[in-house]
Structure 1
Amino acid sequence: MSRARTSNEIWWARIVDRVDELLHNYPKLPKKPLPENSLPLKIGSNITTKNYNTFLNNHGSSGYKFQFELNSDNKTGNVYIIVHYNPDGSGVQIAPDVAVYPNITFVPKPALSTVIPPPPSDKAGNPHARIICEVGVGQSVGDLKQKCESWMLEQYVRAVVSIKILKPRSGIREPTTGYFYRTMTAKLYRQGIATQRWDFGNIKKNSTDPTGDPAPFNAPNLAHFQINIPVGEVFWDPRQFPVPPDYAPASPPVVTVPNFTIDLYRIQRAVLKAES
């Protein structure tokens, strides 16, 4: 059992942390909460990959999401607060907004796998995420697409859900709720299947008349505005390599629900409420 630190030890630890911050070029978090329209916000310049990873380990749970953009020297970069980490293959630590992993009860840790070469893992050595969700607000559609396609290069990532939330339409609001009208787009990437797309905001993408030309996405449980991902994809764990073309993942007998179902109307309402 580890002992509790005394107040003196905590005080000295804070001094050491402060000295470390002064001696190294780390990104600096804002002192006040950020409004959405201020993103992306640069919080560090010419930051080394090592210092960025240290910063991310210390502040990854701060509530912000960060992007690291490498400079031409491939050694340093600029850090921004946006809505995502950036998977660019540079060795920078990354994390998706939401991820679904298989439990090691059903899919063993990669180190124990009989597949040669062994499948990849997360930093803790657990199975790689199978389903990922990325939500974009402050960054461009192109950046979000590149991020999702980068995840799909990993064969153990079976599906990626992309949600792009555009800026609210100023000056026009829903008459009953007072929510701003806002365009939203979702995409589903799956291995071996064409990308699917949904426009699910409370206003049509190019419309300026939400009352006379209302968006069809106006109620929960509409079949055409639900994203369905087979639950079996979470248990994707082929025992041969290369993967046989007829391989199909199977859910354990205790799992009886066929799909993960994402009702986009519920996401729409949550977004609009947060902005009101």
Structure 2
Amino acid sequence: MSSSTSGSHWKSVDNEFRNKVDNIFHKYPKLPKTLPREDRPNVTSYPLNVTLYGYSLPLRIGSEVSVKNYNTFLDRNEKTGYKFSWDEGNVYIIEMAIPEHEAVVSYLQDCFKEPNNGVRRGPIRVYGSPYHYNPIRYGEKIAPDVAVRPSNAHVLQPLIRHPGPPPSDMNGRAHARVICEIGNSQTIISWNERCELWMREEYVRCVLGIKLFSKKIIGETVHRQMIARLWTRVVQGGGELSSNATLARAGVYVKEWDFGTIQYNNNAPTPTGCNALNLNAFQITIPIADAFYDPPIVGGVPTPYAILVPGTVVGVNFVIDLFDVQQVVLESQ
């Protein structure tokens, strides 16, 4: 064993020992020894004692866990492929990085990079699961599936980290302006709540949520129900007004699209009509200007201003074609 290899080995052993000692004196969540099942979500909301249902999601993996210990747990387990949730001391696994989920994440990231016109370090920065602070519980770390923010060259990093003003992510960079949350194993209730949670932060201009439901086999064909919801601060065209949005009366507008191969919440296997690209009824547009929201702050309060979009950005809107989303899901399942 070389000296460098030996040093690395003992460093690893030392870190493992430190973690074991740390676990004795702190209460952290415990990851399951076997993978949870994502194929049969069977609870409508949480918190619940989901261990009664086996290893389907959401799965509680800790109780009486402080926010500080939860954040430490996240730092140690951010690469596990799970999405976690903390609720009044209870910790849950609510989502898994299965192929369908990751395919949608990858597609959306590509959509938000397009206005950079092929520049690899363009003015629009697109990230997967960067940690931010919970807008309503100071100190708790949460991460979206996709976060879009302006580059430091166009919107300076906040001088004061979260809560600012202006707010920042966990690394002190400009807070995400556009958020995406993809729900597969999550219940529709918890997915909707998580999307609406982000809109509690004024600097989040819109949230795009994609919810995938279980596969349905009809005859010899595998179908998938899917819906999309867009939470914005400006009235948008397209889609249908959602009655499931609790923030709709607080200056937040919500649109919904039913875009799977068959309609959601319909006992009859009725097609949605989302069967080709470039159908106006199944395209979501988000103003590129939303990514560059950066009002001046007077007396600690953001004030009205004219948004400046860099001249190198191509186009006016981010465009998400829901037929594309449908197809990447079907190809991945």
TM bin, normalised by shorter chain, reads 0.7 to 0.9
Structure 1 consecutive aligned stretches of length 4 or more whose deviation exceeds 4 Å: 242-245
Match of 1:73 in 2: none
Q: Which amino acid aligns with 2:168?
A: S
Match of 2:225 in 1: 183
Q: How has the CA–CA distance of structure 1 residues 207 and 112 changed in structure 2, closer, same or farther, with 3 Å as cutoff?
A: closer
Match of 2:18 in 1: 16
Task: Please state how far the C-alpha of 1:79 moved relative to its aligned partner.
Answer: 0.9
Tell whether 2:284 aligns with 1:227: yes
Match of 1:106 in 2: 154
- The question of whether the paired residues in 2 share the 8 Å contact of 1:227 and 1:261 is answered with yes
- 5 Å matches for 1:41-120? 41-70=59-88, 77-83=89-95, 87=134, 88-111=136-159, 118-120=165-167
Tell whether 2:187 aligns with 1:128: no
- The question of whether the paired residues in 2 share the 8 Å contact of 1:101 and 1:234 is answered with yes
1:237-258: per-residue Cα shift (whole Å, max 9, x none)? 122545555x342211111222
Q: Secondary structure at the match of 1:16?
A: helix
Tell whether 2:322 aligns with 1:271: no
Q: How has the CA–CA distance of structure 1 residues 147 and 8 changed in structure 2, closer, same or farther, with 3 Å as cutoff?
A: closer
Q: How has the CA–CA distance of structure 1 residues 218 and 50 changed in structure 2, closer, same or farther, with 3 Å as cutoff?
A: same
Match of 2:273 in 1: 216
Q: Which amino acid aligns with 2:57?
A: L
- 5 Å matches for 1:30-45? 30-36=32-38, 37=40, 38-45=56-63
1:96-155: per-residue Cα shift (whole Å, max 9, x none)? 111001101000111189xxx731111211111000001123333333333222211222
User: If the length of structure 1 is used for normalisation, what is the TM-score?
Assistant: 0.83
Percentage of identical aligned residues: 43
Of 258, 271, 290, 1:199 maps to: 258
Q: Which amino acid aligns with 2:67?
A: T
- The question of whether the paired residues in 2 share the 8 Å contact of 1:148 and 1:162 is answered with yes
For 1:206 and 1:263, the matched residues in 2 are separated by 22
Q: Secondary structure at the match of 1:43?
A: strand
1:155-209: per-residue Cα shift (whole Å, max 9, x none)? 211111011222223x426x4xx53x22211111111333221001110124445
For 1:183 and 1:60, the matched residues in 2 are separated by 29
- The question of whether the paired residues in 2 share the 8 Å contact of 1:40 and 1:81 is answered with yes
Comparing 6-15 with 43-52, which one deviates more in the overlay?
A: 6-15
Match of 1:145 in 2: 192
For 1:97 and 1:268, the matched residues in 2 are separated by 18
Tell whether 2:27 aligns with 1:25: yes
1:19-48: per-residue Cα shift (whole Å, max 9, x none)? 322433211112333321211111112222
**Aligned positions, number:** 256
Q: Secondary structure at the match of 2:137?
A: coil
1:72-114: per-residue Cα shift (whole Å, max 9, x none)? xxxxx1111013999452531111111001101000111189x
- The question of whether the paired residues in 1 share the 8 Å contact of 2:160 and 2:166 is answered with no
User: If the length of structure 2 is used for normalisation, what is the TM-score?
Assistant: 0.69
For 1:47 and 1:90, the matched residues in 2 are separated by 15
Q: C-alpha root-mean-square deviation of aligned residues, in Å?
A: 2.6
Of 192, 215, 218, 1:172 maps to: 218
Tell whether 2:272 aligns with 1:260: no
For 2:93 and 2:18, the matched residues in 1 are separated by 26
- Structure 2, unmatched stretches of 5+, are 41-55, 97-130, 236-252
Q: Secondary structure at the match of 1:82?
A: strand
- Structure 1, unmatched stretches of 5+, are 71-76
For 1:191 and 1:259, the matched residues in 2 are separated by 15
- The question of whether the paired residues in 1 share the 8 Å contact of 2:258 and 2:272 is answered with no
Task: Please state how far the C-alpha of 1:214 moved relative to its aligned partner.
Answer: 2.5
Q: How has the CA–CA distance of structure 1 residues 15 and 254 changed in structure 2, closer, same or farther, with 3 Å as cutoff?
A: same
- The question of whether the paired residues in 2 share the 8 Å contact of 1:158 and 1:233 is answered with yes
Q: Which amino acid aligns with 1:26?
A: Y
